[in-house]
Structure 1
Amino acid sequence: MTLTELRYLVNLDKERHFGRAAERSFVSQPTLSVAVKKLEDELGVALFERNRGEARPTPVGARIIEQARRVLTEARRIEDIANQGGDALSGPLRLGAIYTVGPYMLPQLVPALRKSAPNMPLVIEENYTSVLLDQLRDSEVDVALIALPMDVAGLNAWPVYDESFVVMMPPDHVLADEVEIPAAQLAYHPLLLLGPGHCFREQVIEACPKCVDPDADGPRPQTGSSLETIRHMVVSGLGITVLPEASVKNRPDDGGLVARPFKPPAPQRQIALVWRKTFPRFKAIALLRDTLLGCNIHGVRFLPDAPVQSA
């Protein structure tokens, strides 16, 4: 039994599919399948129920996978302890970012951090908030940029900036003549939202619950896979959308779209760096935050004096 085999188990449990688990593990599907079968033979129990490439853990398999997670976490802590004796700004830093932050923050962050910490390359993972939090707790990423409020139990959170939401629409839309848009108005116009799993979708719905109310009189919202895809659909005349202001102010053009602020109280979010309490490279976290604060990012309100929050 090896750490690599245990990692295969955990990845297969996350993906519930041999092909996707193999991709996640950077190996071929036969390699992962053989390793899992070898471990099952060694332990004398079936760890997964298989059905046409899909896999679900058996009851005993679920218990073994949970133990495997703990073993892998402890193994990574050995690496963390070793790193405490070295240069905190030397060696890769595994940075996670939610999909609605990365494309607008990374173009400035990466070259700036390269100058200030040339020996600390970034390994970047974009994903949903829930996945990034799991990866943080499983020591698969070191630090992540996510939106608060969020359950960050067992983690540290350091706010970086606040960001308001804006309504995007074609210039000939009836709402384009408005100076401010009441959130409740969204329910009466064709609205484009991110799909389930995106925390930004939930934040928009929180601002206008009637947008997804099946008993409401307005049109049902449609979904897109990314903010950029939704933007293109708005340009095509399919409807209007809500975007974080940084995604509007930090791109070369908006295809002729216009942005309007919400009528107060305007919906907004807070973006923070989140990391494990046991992560030893605090100097790297501090430099990452200082570099973010030094970026010329438009449409946000930086929080240089915000304290670290420990949950």
Structure 2
Amino acid sequence: MTPTIKQLKYLIALDEHLHFGKASAACFISQSAFSIAIKELETALNVQLVDRTNKSVVITEAGRAVMSQARHCIRDLEVLMSIASSEQEPLSGKLTLGVIPTIAPFLLPPLIPEVLKQFPKLQLFLREDKTAVIHEQLLDGKLDLILVALPFQMRGVTVMPLFEDPFLLACRRDSRWINNARLDLASLPDESILLLEDGHCLRDHALEACHLRNTNQINRFAATSLQTLLQMVVADLGITFVPAMAKGALIGGNAALELHALPEQHSREIGLAWRKGSSRSDEFTKIGELIQQLQQ
């Protein structure tokens, strides 16, 4: 017996909800019919996919492996439909884009209207999360394309570098931490540099791009977002480094903050990535070229 597309979709829904009632509701069928379909899938594959208890659902190790392939199968079917659609018109149909939080609020507002203007039949869906998360979602087939900051070690993808995004030093006006007459990163006091918490690639990029080797300069407190980071800077708890693309959104109108160009240009690189061998590479390249045009 061969698994059906419907059974694979039910398994994916169960993984997303980890609850038979919620997953069946999301699939618009009764819980009993949903449970039967999952059981029939296990019988067809001759493997237990799910551990069931009264309070929880746990996907087994074998279930995880099947789940990954199920996502690829469903994604391949969607690609098949996209290929047929794109033969009639490029960049039409569904496209799911993953973006990291330190890019999304600054690059997407001007980008999305232009994308939809140029490709009106494109159905664009967005997901925002850390780089490691959206990379895994890309490999699992949950995303078609991701917009990230580089460098970042990623397997199984094609990367299209787009543009450089310089870092700027952000501080409170008349901050006690810096000498405006002579800005020297190496001479910053201990505990003076505020960064995002571990797991945010912006933290790693700032450390690497700005050559921050003295760990004593890094404040032990870390922020969870750029907005929180800048509030700490306004309170003169330290200085930080922000990407130039965030300048207008984060700094505009805040008279307490000022930005300084760094003595040498330090930057992160913005790029697109998609699964290697994707049949939609040409379409993704067009989106990348559009982003580059908007940055000129």
The two structures share one fold, judged by TM-score above 0.5:
yes
Q: Name the counterpart of 1:307.
A: none
Give, as a single letter, the amino acid of the residue that structure 1 aligns with 2:199.
G
- Quick one: structure 1 residues 232 and 204, their matched pair in 2 at CA, closer, same or farther if it must change by over 3 Å? same
CA-to-partner distance for each residue in 1:55-103, whole Å, 9 max, x for gaps?
Answer: 5432333333343244334333423442342211332432222111111
Give 1:282 deviation, angstroms: 4.5
Q: How does 1:80-119 map to 2 (within 5 A)?
A: 80-119=82-121
2:191 matched to 1:189?
A: yes
Could you tell me whether the CA contact under 8 Å between 1:157 and 1:273 is conserved in 2?
Answer: yes
Shift of the 90–78 alpha-carbon distance from structure 1 to 2, 3 Å rule, reads closer
User: Counterpart of 1:221 in 2: which secondary structure?
Assistant: strand
How far apart are the structure 1 equivalents of 2:48 and 2:124?
38
What's the TM-score once normalised by structure 1's chain length? 0.74
- CA change 1:203–1:50 in 2 (3 A) is farther
- 2:227 matched residue in structure 1: 228
Contact 1:91 1:120 in 2 (8 A): yes
- What is the count of residue pairs matched by the alignment? 287
**Structure 2 Cα separation of the partners of residues 243 and 33 of structure 1:** 52
Three-state SS of the structure 1 residue aligned to 2:168 is strand
How far the C-alpha of 1:5 sits from its partner, in A, is 4.6
Aligned partner of residue 196 in structure 1, secondary structure:
coil
Q: Quote the offset at 1:34 in angstroms.
A: 8.0
What is residue 6 of structure 1 aligned with on the other side? 8
Equivalence for 1:27: 26
Q: Which residue of 2 aligns with 1:208?
A: 212
- Between structure 1 and structure 2, the one with the greater Rg is 2
Distance 1:275 1:48, change over 3 A: same
Write out per-residue CA displacement over residues 29-56 of structure 1, whole angstroms, 9 at most, x where no aligned residue: x978984685146525543456896654
Asked whether the equivalents of residues 167 and 181 of structure 1 are also in contact (C-alpha less than 8 Å), the reply is no
Kept after mapping to 2: 8 A contact 1:162/1:268: yes
Query: Distance in 1 between the 2:107 and 2:36 partners?
Result: 43
1:290 matched to which residue of 2?
A: 289
In the alignment, structure 2 segments of 5+ residues that lack a partner are none
2 CA distance for matches of 1:261 and 1:127? 28
Q: Is the 8 A contact 2:100 2:128 kept in 1?
A: yes
- What letter corresponds to residue 262 of structure 1 in structure 2? L
Q: 1: CA distance between counterparts of 2:284 and 2:162?
A: 12
Please give the alpha-carbon distance, in whole angstroms, between the structure 1 residues aligned to 2:14 and 2:181: 51
**Higher-RCO chain (CA-CA 8 Å, sequence separation at least 6):** 1
Following the alignment from structure 2 to structure 1, what is the Cα–Cα distance between the partners of residues 203 and 217? Answer: 20
Distance 2:292 2:73 in 1: 36
Cα displacement string for residues 277-304 of structure 1 (whole angstroms, at most 9, x for unaligned residues): 4433455334423332332x5xxxx5xx
Give, in angstroms, the shift of residue 209 of structure 1.
Answer: 4.7
3-state SS in 2 of match to 1:280: coil
SS at match of 1:260: strand
Give the 3-state SS of the residue equivalent to 1:193 in structure 2. Answer: strand
> TM-score w.r.t. structure 2 length?
0.77
